[in-house]
Structure 1
Amino acid sequence: MAPYRHSSELLPDKRGIIGVVFKSLDRSKQGLRGVRRGTRFGRISVRRLLLWMFSVAVLFSIYLSLFGLKMQFHDFFPCEVGLLDSVNNLVEPKDYANFTQFSSWYVDKEEKPFGDDQFEPRFGGHQTLEGREKSFYARNQTIHCGFVGGPDGYPSTGFDLDEKDKSYMNTCKVVVSSCIFGSSDFLRRPTSKLISEYSKKNVCFVMFLDEQTLLKLSTEGNVPDERGCIGLWRIVIVRNLPYKDMRKTGKVPKFLSHRLFPSSRYSIWLDSKMRLQTDPMLILEFFLWRTGSETVSAEHWLSYFVIGQCRLHQLLEIP
Structure 2
Amino acid sequence: MLERESIRETDAMPRSRKISLNESEPFKRRKKKHYGPCEIEFLPSVDNLVEPADYNNFTQFLLKYILNEGHLNGNGVFEPLFAGHQSLQEREETYYAKNQSLHCGFIEGPEGYPSSGFDLDEHDRAYMATCRVVVSSCIFGGSDYLRRPTKSKIGSYSKKNVCFIMFLDELTLTTLSSEGHIPDENGSVGLWRIVVVKNLPYKDMRRAGKVPKLIAHRLFPSALYSIWLDSKLRLNADPMLIIEYFLWRKKAEYAISVHYDRTCVWEEVLQNKRLNKYNHTAIDEQFYFYQSDGLVKFNASGQDPVLPSYVPEGSFIVRAHTPMSNLFSCLWFNEVNRFTSRDQLSFTYTYLKLRRMNTGRYFQLNMFKDCERRAVAKLFHHRTNGITDPPPTNLHTYKNHSSMSS
TM-score by length of 2: 0.58
Q: Shift in Å at residue 249 of structure 1?
A: 0.3
Q: Once the two structures are superposed, what CA deviation does each residue of 1:241-291 show, in whole Å capped at 9, x if it has no partner?
A: 100000000001111100000000001000100000100000001111112
**Could you tell me which residue of structure 2 aligns to residue 18 of structure 1?**
none
Match of 1:105 in 2: 64
Within the alignment, does 1:92 sit opposite 2:51 as a pair? yes
Residue type of the alignment partner of 2:241: L
Unaligned runs of 5+ in 1: 1-64
Letter matched to residue 284 of structure 1: I
1:190 is matched by which residue type in structure 2? Answer: P
Structure-1 separation of matches of 2:53 and 2:179:
45
- 1:97: how far off? 5.4
Partners of 1:80 and 1:309 within 8 A in 2: no
1:211-230 counterparts in 2 under 5 A?
211-230=170-189
What is the CA–CA distance in structure 2 between the aligned matches of 1:314 and 1:200, rounded to whole Å? Answer: 20
* Residue of 258, 269, 272 corresponding to 1:299: 258
Which letter does structure 2 place at the counterpart of 1:185? D
Contact 1:160 1:240 (C-alpha < 8 Å) held by counterparts: yes
1:170 equivalent to 2:129? Answer: yes
- Identify the residue that residue 226 of structure 2 maps to in structure 1: 267
SS at match of 1:296: strand
Q: Give yes or no for contact 2:55–2:248 (8 Å, CA) kept in 1.
A: no
Tell me what 1:310 maps to. 371
More helix by share: 1
Q: Aligned partner of 1:318: which letter?
A: L
Partners of 2:58 and 2:142 in 1: how far apart?
Answer: 40
- Given that 1:111 and 1:150 are in contact with CA atoms closer than 8 Å, whether structure 2 keeps it comes out as yes
Give the partner amino acid of 2:213.
Answer: K
Partners of 2:198 and 2:88 lie apart in 1 by 30
Displacement after TM superposition at 1:128 (Å): 0.9
Cα distance between partner residues in 1 of 2:117 and 2:260: 30
Map of 2:149 onto structure 1: 190
Structure-2 separation of matches of 1:108 and 1:233: 29
Q: Residue type matched to 2:58 in 1?
A: F
- SS of the aligned residue for 2:194 comes to strand
SS of the equivalent of 1:213 reads helix
| 1:295–1:203 CA distance, 2 compared to 1 (3 A) | same
Distance 1:301 1:186 in 2: 23
Q: Which amino acid aligns with 1:310?
A: C
Note if contact 2:135-2:163 (Cα within 8 Å) is conserved in structure 1: yes
Equivalent residue number for residue 145 of structure 1: 104
Separation in 1, partners of 2:49, 2:256? 22
2:241 counterpart SS class: helix
Q: Structure 2: how far apart are the matches of 1:302 and 1:143? A: 35
Partner Cα separation in structure 1 for residue 368 and residue 59 of structure 2: 27
Q: In structure 2, what is the Cα distance between the partners aligned to 1:110 and 1:73?
A: 47
Secondary structure of the residue that 2:212 maps to in structure 1? helix
**Structure 1 position 252 matched with structure 2 position 211:** yes
Deviation for aligned residue 1:116 = 4.0
CA shift at 1:238, angstroms?
Answer: 0.3
Corresponding residue pairs, total: 246
* Ranges of 4+ aligned residues in structure 1 off by more than 2 Å: 94-98, 113-117, 299-304, 306-310
Percent sequence identity over aligned pairs = 59
Q: 2:153 touches 2:238 (CA, 8 Å); kept in 1?
A: yes
SS at the partner of 1:310?
Answer: helix
Question: Distance in 2 between the 1:263 and 1:94 partners?
Answer: 20
Q: Distance in 1 between matches of 2:182 and 2:122?
A: 21
The structural deviation recorded for 1:302 is 6.5
Q: Contact 2:259 / 2:370 at 8 angstroms: preserved in 1?
A: no
What amino acid is the match of 2:372?
R
Alignment partners' CA distance in 2, 1:257 and 1:107 = 16
- Cα gap change, 1:224 to 1:309, in 2 (>3 Å): closer
CA drift at 1:298: 1.2
8 Å CA contact 2:257, 2:370 repeated in 1: no
Amino acid at match of 1:140: N
Quote the Cα distance in structure 1 between the aligned partners of 2:224 and 2:186: 24
Q: Secondary structure at the match of 2:193?
A: strand
CA distance in 1, matches of 2:196, 2:56: 38
Stretches of structure 2 that go unaligned for 5 or more consecutive residues are: 1-31, 263-312, 314-366, 381-406
Q: Deviations over 1:214-262 (max 9, x none)?
A: 0000111110000000110000000001000000000011111000000
CA spacing shift, 1:301–1:157, aligned 2, 3 Å: farther
> Normalising by the residue count of structure 1, what TM-score does the alignment of the two structures yield?
0.73
Structure 2: how far apart are the matches of 1:285 and 1:313? 17
SS of residue matched to 1:267 = strand
Displacement of 1:307: 5.0
Counterpart amino acid of residue 296 in structure 1: A
**What letter is aligned with 1:181?**
F
Mapped contact 2:257–2:369 kept (Cα < 8 A): no
Summarize deviations over 1:30-56 as a string: whole Å, max 9, x none: xxxxxxxxxxxxxxxxxxxxxxxxxxx
The 5 Å alignment of 1:25-44 reads: none
